[in-house]
Amino acid sequence: MTQASIAEVVEALRPRYLRAKRGDKTRIGDEFLALTGYHRKAAIRVLRNGRRPKGRDRRGRPRVYSPDVKAALVQGSKRLAPFLPEIVAVLERESCGFPRTPSGSWSS
Tell me the C-alpha to C-alpha distance, in Å, between residue 22 and each of 3, 31, 38: 27, 14, 20
Among the listed residues 22, 24, 3, the one whose alpha carbon sits nearest the alpha carbon of residue 13: 24
Kindly list the averaged pLDDT for each block of 10 residues, start to end, along the chain of length 108.
Answer: 90 94 94 93 93 74 79 67 79 66 54
pLDDT for 52 equals: 77
pLDDT score recorded for residue 27: 95
Q: What is the pLDDT of residue 97?
A: 52
Residue 56 to residue 79: CA distance in whole angstroms: 32
Percent helix, strand, coil in the chain, to 5, is 65, 0, 35
Contact (Cβ atoms closer than 8 angstroms) between residue 37 and residue 1: yes
Q: Is the separation of the CB atoms in 9 and 24 below 8 Å? A: no
The confidence score (pLDDT) of residue 100 equals 61
> In the 8-state DSSP scheme, what is residue 106?
B
For the whole model, what pTM was predicted? 0.50
Residue 1 confidence (pLDDT): 82
